[in-house]
Structure 1
Amino acid sequence: MLVEKRRGLMSGVRYIIDDVDAAVAFYTEHLGFEVVMQAPGFAMLDRQDLRLLLNLPGAGGAGQPDDAGRLPEPGGWNRFQVVVAELDAVLARLVDAGVPVRTGIVRGGGGRQAVIEDPSGNAVELLEPPSD
């Protein structure tokens, strides 16, 4: 396995989105991300140790078709987690703000979670770890 370390470079998650401005507003206003940079068809956001890269289909290298000619598109069930302290309160605030909820609160081995959607239909998991 090849691991290359570069100064200032961090791993990230890339989502394909429909509208850069709507996605940036969603992630900054509702989930506490900060804008690192924004350009036509692209935005880079950070939240703690997570870098989120947002691309329009067709924009930059990440928005190009695969070898079969399929364009990237938003949606699916792949997701990243945002850890929250009080899931009930956070989910209620997001519902009040009109954020689509894909799953209500469910319990699992790692705590309680709910899945919401960004403006392009990409899944984001909210996780409340067990208290002990």
Structure 2
Amino acid sequence: MSESDRVAGVRYLVDDVQAAIDFYTTHLGFTLNTSAAPAFADVIRGPLRLLLSGAASSGARATPEDTADTPGRNRVHLIVDDLDAEIARLRDAGLSFRSDVVSGPGGRQILLADPAGNLIELFQPA
């Protein structure tokens, strides 16, 4: 099995690569894989490789002008064992959330944003 079969990559365009590295590694359990900051870095958590692309990266340069400054509704979905404990831990670290906790038939979730406004969904299965 090749690396591309074991890891899913998601690209997030960010304003500050180092701030994004710090956010994901400090608060969400990612580890730094490679860094060419301020242009690019990638962080990994399990099978997820998150590509953090600054303005000087090729990924950012390929983005159409009309979407460059608008984070979408897409988001990384991270499963947690105890949503309430994660919320408390992240609030204690000074982070704020972009939504309230939402409950549904599959579980509970809340949205958080990285320093560039990209969304992260913390999800606790039912």
Q: Among residues 3, 28, 44, which one is paired with 1:8 in the alignment? A: 3
Question: Which residue of 2 is the match for residue 36 of structure 1?
Answer: 33
Question: Which residue of 2 is the match for residue 85 of structure 1?
Answer: 81
Cα distance in 1 between the residues matched to 2:111 and 2:120: 6
Cα distance in 2 between the residues matched to 1:74 and 1:38: 24
1:38 Cα deviation from its structure 2 partner: 0.4
Question: Which residue of 1 is the match for residue 14 of structure 2?
Answer: 17
Residues 117 and 66 from structure 1, CA distance in 2 versus in 1: closer, same or farther, beyond 3 angstroms?
closer
What are structure 1's unaligned runs of at least 5 residues? 1-5
1:66 Cα deviation from its structure 2 partner: 4.3
1:77 Cα deviation from its structure 2 partner: 1.7
Question: Which residue of 1 is the match for residue 49 of structure 2?
Answer: 51
Q: Among residues 117, 124, 128, which one is paired with 2:113 in the alignment? A: 117
TM-score by length of 2: 0.88
Match of 1:102, SS state, is: coil
Cα distance in 1 between the residues matched to 2:40 and 2:104: 35
Q: Among residues 61, 66, 75, which one is paired with 1:64 in the alignment? A: 61
Q: Among residues 88, 101, 104, which one is paired with 1:105 in the alignment? A: 101
Could you list the structure 1 runs, at least 4 aligned residues long, displaced by more than 4 angstroms after superposition.
none
RMSD: 1.8
Which has more radius of gyration?
1
Match of 1:35, SS state, is: strand
Q: How many residues are aligned here? A: 123
**Fraction of identical pairs, as percent:** 43
